[in-house]
Structure formats: C-alpha cells, structure tokens
Amino acid sequence: MIIITGAAGFIGSCMAGKLNSEGRRDLILSDDFTRPDKELNFIHKACEARVDRSRLFDWITKNAGSVELVIHLGARTDTTEFDSSVFDELNLGYSKKIWTLCARYGIPLIYASSAATYGDGSLGYDDRDNALPGRLKPLNPYGISKNEFDRWALVQEEGPPRWCGLKFFNVFGPNEYHKGRMASVVFHAFNQVTGKAGGPKPGTVRLFRSHRPDYPDGGQLRDFIYVRDVTDVIGFLASHDAPSGIYNLGTGKARTFLDLAKAVFAATGREPAIEFIDTPADIRDKYQYFTEAKMDKLRAAGYSSPFHTLEDAVSEYVGEYLAEGSRL
C-alpha cells in the first residue's frame, strides 16, 4: 500500500488520481477530510481507506508491514500566515513524526519541501549543496518551516531506507479550486479573463507592479511547473532507486508573469488586456522576484522526460479543466 498525506489538497489529490490511472487502488489517503470545498478532490478516488491526519501515526504503527511507500504532501501552505506555531505543528512537527515512523519501520519516504526555502534567491538554487539549507533565509514562516525540516532531515543518522525531499517551485493545475488567495496566478488570471472573479474590469488580468527598478512591471520571473509534471516526477522517484536527498522540482526555465498572462489569454481565445496593481503591503518585502530550479540533480538521478512548456500546460489546464470546472 501507498500512503498519501494531503490527499484532499491540490497536489495530493492529483497524485492519487495519477496512481488510480495506473491501476493502483491500494492507497491510504490521509488528510482532514471535513472541508466541503475539498470533497470533489478525493471523493471519487479509489482507495483502501481514508484516514484522518490525527489518526495516521497510530494507523502506520498498526499496519507498517503493509506499507511500501509514504508520499507526504500534507502541509499548511499559506505564505501569508505569520503565526509560526501553526507551521511548527503542521509542517515541522508532523513531518518529523512521519520521518521517525518511516525510519522505524523501514518505509521509503517522499516528502514535499518548497522553493520558498530559497528566500530571495541571493544564495542561488542549488539542490546539490547540502550545506546550503543552513545558510538560507526564507522570507516567511512557511518557508522557514520547510527549510527547518530539510536541515533536520539532512543531519539525521537514522532515516527511511530511501528518502527524497522535493522543493516544489510554482505549481499550478487542476484541483486547486479550494485554495482561494493562494491558488496559482493561472487560476486567478482565468477567472479575471472570463469575468468569474468579478471586479470593475472583467476581461482584464491584474498583475503585481514591480517595486524594484531592476524588474519591469510583469517582468518578475518564476519557475512555473504543471502539476502533472510534478506527479510524474514523484511517480518516477517512487519506482526508481534514486539517491536519497533533496531535489529541486521545477522546469529549470524561469518565465515572466506577462508570459503567463498572455498564455491564459491565448488559451481562452482573447486579446491580452493587462493592468498592474501594487503588491499588497503585507507581502511586499517577502516577495520573490526570481526563481529558477537547477535540475541537474534530478536529471542525473535518471529522470529524462521533458516538462510541459508554460504555453502547453496553460492551454491544457484552461481547456480541459478550468473551462469545465473539472478535476484530475
């Protein structure tokens, strides 16, 4: 059996869907399943059981001999939350317990880290330097919690028989409907273009103005990666004996927010109409202007599949999911 935490959420539910599509039904889905806005992410997924996240540790202890892998994707991901205690409990503390159980019972572990650990990017994006996490300065408590777990994992003398921590860059795609403000820019841009977002200018995409002279408005750069590429990489690592460690998971090619907005307009068959608004004051000094994953380590581990281009991914996401309100 394979355990997926965060199975009601965005990436976790997509991972369950991928495994279902490959014929896997022996899944243990774990999360807080009480939110109605997440129900369609998991209700139709085939599984052996759904286990509330508060009972998962006991479940693993009783059933460890049947578990072949834990894919730990559950986390509090709100970068605008500044109560560190929330992340200490749900991200750092919970992940340490998962690790400890996997080590005790000899279960391989794949877990979600984040590109938010890299902070402003001034120290680069090199996942091959195991000393780097000790020098990084993430810009918010979410990034700090993810980096603290990476640092902790790297110095453990005892761990799972094989483990991979994945620094997700800017992931977008189906099943993020519940994320609200934290949903991808693709999701918000689609709603603005189609008028679903409301506001005074339906059909116009609003992007953050640059507050740095070295970046033009809309010229901020991010490594946007489609969720189907993310689940493909996780599937590869689950079935191949890649070296344990931390891996970047982006495309390796940064693109601008203007590129993204234009791709959404193209996918909806409309001419671009873009305006710029100030970055909210509560995140302005914590805003990343450039992220780009170095992907040499994952490629060296044997992953050779190409990633979706931004344009192809946006076209599929808009045409097959957002326009229909469907899920993966």
Helix and strand totals (H; E) in the chain: 12, 13
Catalytic residue among 96, 179, 253, 294: 179
Within the chain, strands assigned E span: 2-5, 27-31, 49-52, 69-72, 109-114, 163-168, 170-172, 205-208, 221-222, 224-226, 245-249, 255-256, 274-277
Short-list 217, 226, 199, 219, CA closest to 306: 226
Q: Is 274 helix (H, G, I), strand (E, B) or coil?
A: strand
d(CA 274, CA 311): 17
Dig out the tokens for 161 from the structure. 């028989």
Annotated catalytic, 179? yes
Annotated catalytic, 96? no
Q: Is 27 helix (H, G, I), strand (E, B) or coil?
A: strand
Catalytic residue among 94, 118, 125, 142: 142
The strand pairing partners of 165, in sequence order, are 111, 246
Handedness of CA 171, 176, 181, 182 (dihedral sign): negative
d(CA 141, CA 147): 10
Q: What is the DSSP string of 106-161?
A: T--EEEEEEGGGGTTSTT---TT-TTGGGT---SSHHHHHHHHHHHHHHT-SS--S
d(CA 287, CA 120): 8
Longest dimension (CA), the chain: 58
The strand pairing partners of 174, in sequence order, are none
The residues that are catalytic are 142, 179
